[in-house]
Structure 1
Amino acid sequence: MEVALGYETIFLLVAIAIGIIVLAVLFTFVPIGLWISAISAGVRVGIFTLIGMRLRRVIPNRVINPLIKAHKAGLKVTTNQLESHYLAGGNVDRVVNALIAAQRANIDLVFERAAAIDLAGRDVLEAVQMSVNPKVIETPFIAGVAMNGIEVKAKARITVRANIDRLVGGAGEDTVIARVGEGVISTIGSSDTHERVLENPDSISRTVLSKGLDAGTAFEILSIDIADVDIGKNIGAQLQTDQAEADKKIAQAKAEERRAMAVANEQEMKARVEEMRAKVVEAEAEIPLAMADALKSGNLGVMDYYSLKNINADSDMRDSISRMTTKPANEDNLE
């Protein structure tokens, strides 16, 4: 009897343990608490739908809690829409918050467009908030040069509002800043003097705003305000100085080239003179040999040879006398 009672106690304890384990597994795999919360909030979600989410590796909290929020806000979204967006890698809670914010602000935004914006990598909730409360983008100092050569630096504040219809495929803030900078530079460059820019800085904002710079972007430009204007360098004078310095270097290079050519020509002339002198010396060296051959062969007599010597001596004497007579006259002229 005691042995039978012991078996019954052990069996009961094992049954209770198995039941506890089964219930723990059931409550872990099947979100009973989440199902009760959805039913109490008026959202019809079947228990097998939650089990199917577990099987599809979808976290039920990421879908059911936004669904409850959307139902309380009066939005018509389904479980399949939220689950498909979650499986696509989107942020379900942020999309639902954006839909609620758009509904409160009377902005026409459907779930498909909000999901597309979120999957495109943009913050759809921030876009809706920016549509209600425009954002101010401040540019760095943009430098332009007026027609008189003076550099003008301007800083602009751009007030933009998100364009929901162009968030997918539209350009971002960097494009808006680049276009505004280009417009500011163009407007400053078309001004006659920098004084006109300083006197009427609003002319820059009016000219830039009239160009429709928000085309193809995800924003709508509401206003462009010039926050600060400063005077920079005299670019025109600096360019003229640089040009003069470049011209000077070019002239020096050309003069150096001409000097080098003159030196080369002088060296060439000296080489030619030395060559001619060498030929003269060579020819003079051949004269005694020629005279000796002439004397030897009888073509030149002894008296003829002495007569030639006398003629050379007379020529040298006349040359010496002419030098002596012309030197004092040259000295007088110098005095």
Structure 2
Amino acid sequence: MDELWPVAAFAIGGICVLLGIVFLALFARYFKLWIQAFSSRARIGPFSLVFMSLRKVKPSVIVDSKIMAVQAGLTDVHTQALEAHYLAGGNVHRVVHALIVAHRAGIDLDWDTASAIDLAGRNIITAVETSVDPKVIDCPDPKKSGRPTLDGVAKDGIQLKARARVTVRTNLKQLVGGATEDTIIARVGEGIVSAIGSCESHKQVLANPSVIAREVLNRGLDSQTAFSIVSIDIADIDVGENVGARLRADQAEADVRVAQARAEERRAEAVASEQEMLARTQENQAKVVLAEAEIPLAMAEAFSEGSLRAAK
């Protein structure tokens, strides 16, 4: 037994040295992060930092994000939620930054909504900034549609060419699954063309272009989209061609062609009827000639039979 004590003491000493080395390594790695979290009241313990590494979570990201949230006064952002979002492939820094911006701007945005938007692939910071500072969209967008204006025709047949500027802000509640700004452009363009078409005269539109904007705005075109329309402004409106007159001229030309076709049809029928009558005349003349040829034969036959007598 006495011989085993030195071996046991050596083993215990080795274990203590190994534990000391591990402790020093962990202390050197996580002490600075723990001090940062402790001094900022982020409430992240040293063992939590170790377990983060075991779960393949980068502790520095979680600590920095939690400190940002605490310093900004966000009390509903929990460490476990930060870790879960990191493991899901989300950008923790960006979500916390967006929550801070929304909190300072007085926008109602919670962690669940912000993290869902980030995981959906949307830029949550841009969305929040657009909610604070509304975005202006050109309608139509020449870069996407290739058309510089929206062309509509009033009831008097005059074409109007309009350009609109749509001011929108992000609807954070519908950002996930909501339609993009392309849908807004398409709906506003359709609404402007329809509004121009419902006007009795193009002069009415030229005198008060805001009539179109009000009518389009009252249609609720931002329904089921990721944006809320703040205003629709007619930037420019010009008079195009007289579509009604051109259509009437085209219709008259088409009517002329139809009448000419019908006249040609009647002329062809008359020519065909004339040729048919000439053929019938020739046929009747042939029948007369045949009948005249039969007269001498009949006279000869009658004379031979004695039925034909000379007059006294």
Same topology, TM > 0.5: yes
Distance in 1, matches of 2:61 and 2:297, equals 125
Distance in 2, matches of 1:155 and 1:84, equals 47
Report the counterpart of residue 146 of structure 1 in structure 2.
154
How far apart are residue 243 of structure 1 and its match?
0.6
Distance in 2, matches of 1:263 and 1:60, equals 100
SS of the aligned residue for 1:148 comes to coil
**Partners of 1:31 and 1:50 within 8 A in 2:** no
How far apart are residue 231 of structure 1 and its match?
0.8
Structure 2: gaps (5+ residues): 1-17, 141-148
* Range with bigger deviation, 245-254 or 287-296: 287-296
**Partners of 2:49 and 2:59 within 8 A in 1:** no
Q: Is 1:38 the counterpart of 2:38 in the alignment?
A: no
Pair 32,128 (structure 1): closer, same or farther in 2 beyond 3 Å: farther
User: Which residue type is aligned with residue 70 of structure 1?
Assistant: A
Report the counterpart of residue 164 of structure 2 in structure 1.
156
User: Which residue type is aligned with residue 38 of structure 1?
Assistant: L
Give the alignment of 1:148-227 within 5 angstroms: 148-227=156-235
**Partners of 2:33 and 2:60 within 8 A in 1:** no
SS of the aligned residue for 1:170 comes to coil
* Range with bigger deviation, 99-108 or 244-253: 99-108
How far apart are residue 128 of structure 1 and its match?
0.7
Pair 231,89 (structure 1): closer, same or farther in 2 beyond 3 Å: same
Q: Is 1:282 the counterpart of 2:278 in the alignment?
A: no
Distance in 2, matches of 1:292 and 1:62, equals 136
Pair 32,228 (structure 1): closer, same or farther in 2 beyond 3 Å: farther
Give the alignment of 1:1-335 within 5 angstroms: 33=29, 35-42=30-37, 43=42, 44=44, 46-54=48-56, 63=62, 65-75=64-74, 76-140=76-140, 141-301=149-309, 303=310
How far apart are residue 64 of structure 1 and its match?
5.0
* Range with bigger deviation, 212-221 or 146-155: 212-221
Deviation digits for residues 46-90 of structure 1 (CA, Å, limit 9, x no counterpart): 343233223xxx566665543444344343433432333234343
Distance in 2, matches of 1:255 and 1:146, equals 37
Deviation digits for residues 82-116 of structure 1 (CA, Å, limit 9, x no counterpart): 33323434333322221121122122211111112
Structure 1: gaps (5+ residues): 1-18, 308-335
Distance in 1, matches of 2:60 and 2:272, equals 94
SS of the aligned residue for 1:282 comes to helix
Pair 247,277 (structure 1): closer, same or farther in 2 beyond 3 Å: same
SS of the aligned residue for 1:168 comes to coil
**Partners of 2:62 and 2:79 within 8 A in 1:** yes
**Partners of 1:38 and 1:68 within 8 A in 2:** no
How far apart are residue 281 of structure 1 and its match?
1.7
Sequence identity, in percent? 55
SS of the aligned residue for 1:41 comes to helix
TM-align CA RMSD: 2.8
How far apart are residue 234 of structure 1 and its match?
0.5
Distance in 1, matches of 2:176 and 2:98, equals 15
Q: Which has the higher helix share?
A: 1
Deviation digits for residues 215-261 of structure 1 (CA, Å, limit 9, x no counterpart): 33222222111111111010110010111011111111111111111
